[in-house]
Amino acid sequence: MLKKKPPFILVFGYAFLYIPILFLIVFSFNKSIFPGVWVGFSLKWYRELFSNTVLWQTVKTSVQIAAISATGAVILGTLGALALNRLGNFRGRTLFSMLSSAPLVMPEIILGISLLLMFVMGERLLGIPSKRGVATVTIAHITLAMSYVILIVQSRLSDFDMSLEEAALDLGARPFQAVISVTLPIIAPAILASWLLSFALSLDDVVIASFLTGAQATTLPILIFSSVKLGITPEINALATILVGAMSLIITAIGFVLYRRNTMTRRT
């Protein structure tokens, strides 16, 4: 049987997405300081990148915020999805569902201003400190990412086989034990996908972080966005290449684990 060639639109789509990233990787090895002029191969910008302590501190802050906000969003979002899926038509369900999906359609600039006003008013009315920094950005990113987690996990729970939980309950497990031992392992791929999406959303955010970040908690997107006015040095290309390589390895490893899991499930 002859294999069909991939459609042109598919090839064009992948080329449109990944050729700019390929150019970025190539020009990270460029000797010239000008981003679009190739002079020669050099590792100069990688050496300068590893000696730039300010940039690495910014990367550390961004990864810290992204990891904490992704974890918090997954915990709260999974609980919200379980509530919407398991508690039936409880009082306030419609309002809760609308509020949980509001950040999906709300412009980020509105969300950023709203959270900034909330922190300022909280300090004035309740005496709660609202110093902008890691904590405020993390709370904002949890608020944004939680909506995506609820959407993804709820869609996975919609076709969940409840007879598996019922069997665990019949064997003597408590409801909480059934959820921990049966439900969570089955929906683990959706939870993992939600975490990765939340991590990427936090790591990529500029608009919300620009309202809530402080001088001691500058994130990487804010640093890059601020340096556009003065011109981005090839150090950023080198850093982006390292991030692309790291994320590619992580995605490949996760894909391999999921492939092995699906293969073993089919065999059994």
- Rounded mean pLDDT of 182-190? 85
- Rounded mean pLDDT of 198-212? 87
pLDDT tens-digit series, residues 83-120: 888 777 778 778 888 888 888 888 888 888 888 888 88
Domain ranges of the chain: 54-232, 233-268
Q: Write down how long the chain is.
A: 268
C-alpha to C-alpha distance for 135 and 161, rounded to whole angstroms: 39
Task: Tell me the pLDDT of the chain averaged across its residues.
Answer: 82
> One-letter amino acid identity for 256?
F
| 243: nearest Cα among 61, 25, 43 | 25
Q: How many CB atoms lie within 10 A of CB 234?
A: 23
How many whole angstroms from its chain centre is CA 214?
21
Q: How many CB atoms lie within 10 A of CB 170?
A: 10
CATH number of 54-232: 1.10.3720.10
Residue 68: predicted pLDDT: 94
pTM of the entire structure?
Answer: 0.80
Residue 1: predicted pLDDT: 47
